[in-house]
Amino acid sequence: MKKFPSLFSSFSPRRSLALLRLKAALLTAVAVVGLADFTPVAQLAQNAPFNANGRIATLADFAPVAVRADETEDSGVVWAPLYRGVEYSQLFVETPVLNKWQVVKIDLQARGIEFVATGRNKNYEPEKRETWRQTTADFLDENKLAVAVNANFYNPFNAETIRTQGDSNLLGFGANDGVLVSKPEPNRPAFVVYKDKTAKICNLDPNISDDEVKKIQAGVAGSQVVLTGGAVPEIKNQDRHPRTAVGISADGRYVYFLIVDGRQPKHSVGATLTEVGETLKYFGASEGLNLDGGGSTTLVCRGLDGLSQILNSPANSGVPRNLRNNANAIGVRAANLAPGVRERFEKKMKRAAEKAEEEAQKNAEKAKKAVENGEEAK
């Protein structure tokens, strides 16, 4: 089988840098403020309320694209501070297909960071009623989290269960605050954060002991490892779908929640598992695990008004911005930023936009002169 080429060999930073910088330059200082405080700076037609509480997606529509510091392959990503120890970035790619990626980076060493996963159903019964289905937004609100994403594949899974709350069974491992929710299963790798602030992606023993579970702060399971030791393994499945994934940095300090929208050709097509691994690596991860995706893919953040904000465009049942009731989710509690952090970031982004605009103008002038010289040569 032909191995899929590196996502970032197709998406050349040099070829696309001018476009990224131009997009960033077109964002006004007001748009940067919108990033910091989660308030809409413009009302787009697609930003209609989409759930019972009338919450509207704001951040992802108005945040700056990831702007490179220079034109090298290994240049840094711009991270926007959301909470203490929690940062956000995004990446638009146009080749090989249009995709919009969003990522949250969590510093395990930051004060106040605490991971939370869906706990046991109040009528808990293993392999029958393990959890209670709810949207990722409701999970975030209920647990007063800073950010959250959907997690495990689950059953029963049908047209009725994806749109209603109810009893569910997780496929693979699940645990929260030292309590087992679902036993590990073969071929369903787990992502685990321990109470000692370490994290790992691994295959757990199906007969995991109670003592081992008590050490766990939060744990979920996925379908396939997409990044290991900084390398993307060969993956046969090259289907494109919305994706949710989790990653860990090589030094174990940072955890990454990554999503890519899909099934929306004018917004984001969807990614292969290979691309998920490549993108986790791009943002700084060394280990990566694919979680439940498709219409389940959801990234949620708590705004300054205390309500959840849906950062991506979920495509549940093929309908954009329609939230699915999932069997579980994983998220993070975090403290608010120290005074002045948001303001300094806003100034930094404003300077970056101004510089990008100047460079875009210079490049346009150079291109114009090159065309004129070419015409003269003829």
The string of pLDDT tens digits covering residues 321-365 is 579 999 999 999 999 988 888 788 878 878 877 888 898 899 899
Give dist(CA 213, CA 351) in Å, integer. 48
Which of 70-79, 89-98, 139-148 is most confident?
Answer: 139-148
Could you tell me the two tokens for 24? 């960033």
| Distance (Å) of CA 122 to CA 40, 125, 132, 217 | 38, 9, 8, 19
Virtual torsion, Cα 254, 257, 258, 263, nearest 10 deg: 180
Give dist(CA 221, CA 122) in Å, integer. 21
Does residue 251 register a pLDDT over 90? yes
pLDDT of residue 73: 38
Give dist(CA 92, CA 261) in Å, integer. 11
Could you tell me the two tokens for 66? 């990831």
pLDDT tens-digit profile of 170-185? 999 999 999 999 999 9
Does residue 22 register a pLDDT over 60? no
Domain definitions of the chain by residue range: 7-352
Lowest mean pLDDT segment, chosen from 25-39, 118-132, 274-288 = 25-39
Q: In what order do the strands lie in the sheet with 166-170?
A: 131-133, 166-170, 154-155
Query: What percent of the chain is predicted at pLDDT more than 90?
Result: 63
Q: Cβ(255)–Cβ(233) under 8 Å?
A: no
Predicted confidence band at 318 (pLDDT cuts at 50, 70, 90)? low
pTM score, two decimals? Answer: 0.79
pLDDT of residue 339: 85
If phi over 0 gives left and psi between -120 and 50 gives alpha, with beta otherwise, what is residue 321?
A: left
pLDDT, average across residues 135-146 = 96
